[in-house]
Amino acid sequence: MLAVHFDQPGGPENLYLKEVAKPEPGPGEVLLKVAASALNRADVLQRWGQYSPPPGASNILGLEASGHVVTVGPGCQGPWKAGHSAMALLAGGGQAEYVTVPEGHLMPVPKGLTLIQAAAIPEAWLTAFQLLHVIGQVKAGETVLIHAGSSGVGTAAVQLARQAGAIPLVTAGSLDKIKAVEKLGAAAGFNYKEGDFSAATLEFTKGAGANVILDCVGGSYWEKNVACLALDGRWVLYGLLGGAEVHGELLSKLLTKRGSLLTSLLRSRDKKTISGMGKVLGCGACLWSPRHRGPEATWARALPQNYKAELVAAFTQQILPHFAQDEPGSLRPVVDTVFPLKQVAEAHVYMEQNKNLGKIVLEVTPVP
């Protein structure tokens, strides 16, 4: 099969298509013929040699994909059969003609969505779902500040925050991006290139600050984040695009706010890791449902034994039904641009220029 490859870390010019062995599904795995795979910042970082895949994961780029089931490996107990369309959360391997996927990491393609749109869902939307509901434990009426609000994760988080009854605010690098994200449900947006998002957040919230901050920037934003964090707020860090170094009195300022600094990554979570996810006691059929939020909810920690599969199952049950495109207020993946797989280098250049609003998708196998 053909797969995206690079011989040494560096710029996008190092990327090319290489013929490699087609993978075979092992126990509990499904072989997927890939129709499309979305690009993520992790792919860019891996290409630069700054983000290695987790142990045992494919070295091929691609953290999410859509396509059709080809074969099912031994021991699979799920509903997947040859020919089924599906989308997949991956630790790597999506930017190729075929990829093997643990059956619990597959999701059905929502009715009415194309495989191109479906490829833009798994990594971005599951990340946003995890950050908001599992890590940040957002509640109705709370204010959520979402950095990189026009990114794939950002556009997903805005819609999920609205669905949960929260008030999403975003930062973005242009007025056009802010207007576009406001159409998705953001209550307000702040251009980080032209003003102080921290002051703007405090002004919008009448001094109260943001209850939850979703931060993929890190070091360069720490002081402004703490300044606009509400009392007892949760600062959820999931990236370091602005660097890892912190200079100053972070701990004392965070302590003054009684704030929580929470960190999370999705890709590196092992399939068998005991999670820190919560399940509402007394409601075994419903994981992290917004209707159970509030002081009456009791949370049990470390219940699921398979973090990613449990996350996928919860997302499939609670969120996927809301992607129906013919309903008002439905969720939708935002696709900015589609590149053929052979133009993967151009797609990386486009991402590094920060031009995209939503997801950049690579079309692997043309869909009739």
Q: What is the pLDDT of residues 83-136, one digit of tens each?
A: 999 999 999 999 999 999 999 999 999 999 999 999 999 999 999 999 999 999
Q: Which of 231, 263, 295 is the last residue of a domain?
A: 263
Higher pLDDT pick, 365 / 200: 200
Compute the mean pLDDT over every residue in the chain, rounded to the nearest whole number: 86
DSSP string, 37-69: EE--HHHHHHHTTSSPPPTTS-SSS-SEEEEEE
Q: Is residue 287 part of a domain?
A: no
Q: How far apart are the first and last CA of the chain?
A: 20
Residue 251 pLDDT > 70: yes
Residue 287 has a pLDDT of 39
Q: Is residue 281 part of a domain?
A: no
Residues 132 and 161: their CA atoms lie apart, in Å, by 7
Specify the number of domains making up the chain: 2
Specify whether 227 is located in the same domain as 312: no
Residue 368 has a pLDDT of 52
Which residues constitute the domain of residue 325? 2-124+306-363
Candidate from 67-71, 91-95, 179-183, 247-251 with smallest mean pLDDT: 247-251
Residue 270 has a pLDDT of 60
Specify whether 63 is located in the same domain as 90: yes
Map tokens 């220029």 to a residue. 353
Q: Is residue 33 part of a domain?
A: yes
The CATH number of residue 189's host domain is 3.40.50.720
Map tokens 């449900």 to a residue. 185
Residues 317 and 108: their CA atoms lie apart, in Å, by 11
Residues 237 and 265: their CA atoms lie apart, in Å, by 9
Higher pLDDT pick, 215 / 221: 215
Specify whether 112 is located in the same domain as 147: no
37-80 confidence digits (pLDDT tens): 999 999 999 999 988 888 888 999 999 999 999 999 999 998 99
Map tokens 């940040």 to a residue. 136
Residues 236 and 211: their CA atoms lie apart, in Å, by 11
Residue 325 has a pLDDT of 61
The CATH number of residue 310's host domain is 3.90.180.10
Specify whether 237 is located in the same domain as 181: yes
Residue ranges in 164-196 assigned as alpha helix (H): 175-184
Beta carbons of 339 and 347 less than 8 angstroms apart: yes
255-306 confidence digits (pLDDT tens): 888 888 888 777 767 654 433 444 322 233 333 333 333 333 332 233 344 8
Specify whether 103 is located in the same domain as 148: no
H/E segment holding residue 154: helix 152-163
Residue 294 has a pLDDT of 37
Beta carbons of 4 and 344 less than 8 angstroms apart: yes
Higher pLDDT pick, 300 / 153: 153
Higher pLDDT pick, 279 / 34: 34
Report helix, strand or coil for 285: coil
Q: Is residue 238 part of a domain?
A: yes
Q: Is residue 284 part of a domain?
A: no
Report helix, strand or coil for 260: strand
Assign 29 a pLDDT band (cuts: 50, 70, 90): very high
Residue 268 has a pLDDT of 64
Q: Is residue 298 part of a domain?
A: no
The angle at the Cα of 262, spanning 124 to 285, to the nearest 5 degrees, equals 60
As given in the structure block, the two tokens for residue 13 are: 């010019």
Cα dihedral sign for 147, 309, 281, 160? positive
Specify whether 179 is located in the same domain as 233: yes
1-26 confidence digits (pLDDT tens): 999 999 999 999 999 999 999 999 99
Specify whether 141 is located in the same domain as 259: yes
Specify whether 153 is located in the same domain as 259: yes
Residue 367 has a pLDDT of 58
Residues 108 and 85: their CA atoms lie apart, in Å, by 7
Residues 131 and 151: their CA atoms lie apart, in Å, by 15
Specify whether 50 is located in the same domain as 92: yes
Residue 189 pLDDT > 90: yes
Residues 226 and 26: their CA atoms lie apart, in Å, by 46
Q: Is residue 294 part of a domain?
A: no
Specify whether 103 is located in the same domain as 164: no
Specify whether 241 is located in the same domain as 321: no
Residue 282 has a pLDDT of 26
Q: Is residue 103 part of a domain?
A: yes
Specify whether 156 is located in the same domain as 224: yes
C-alpha 143 chain-centroid distance:
20
